[in-house]
Amino acid sequence: MSNTSFPLPPKVPTALVPTPIVDGRDPQIERLRVVIREQLMNEQIVDLARIARQLGKSTRTMQRHIAARGTSFRDIVQDVRREIAMELLAQGELTVARVSDAVGYSDPKALRRAFHRWGAGAPSQHRRKSSAPPPPTTEPPPPASEVS
Inter-CA distances, 18 with 25, 58, 99, Å? 13, 16, 36
Is the domain defined by 17-131 classed in CATH 1.10.10.60? Answer: yes
Residue 146: which residues within 8 A CB-CB, separation 6 or more? none
Inter-CA distances, 146 with 76, 91, 96, 142, 143, Å? 54, 41, 50, 6, 6
Output the tens digit of pLDDT for each of the chain's 148 residues. Answer: 555 554 544 444 444 444 445 456 788 899 999 999 998 888 778 899 999 999 999 999 999 999 998 999 999 999 999 999 888 888 888 888 888 888 888 888 988 888 888 887 778 777 777 655 545 555 556 666 655 5
* Amino acid letter, 73: F
Domain extents for the chain?
17-131
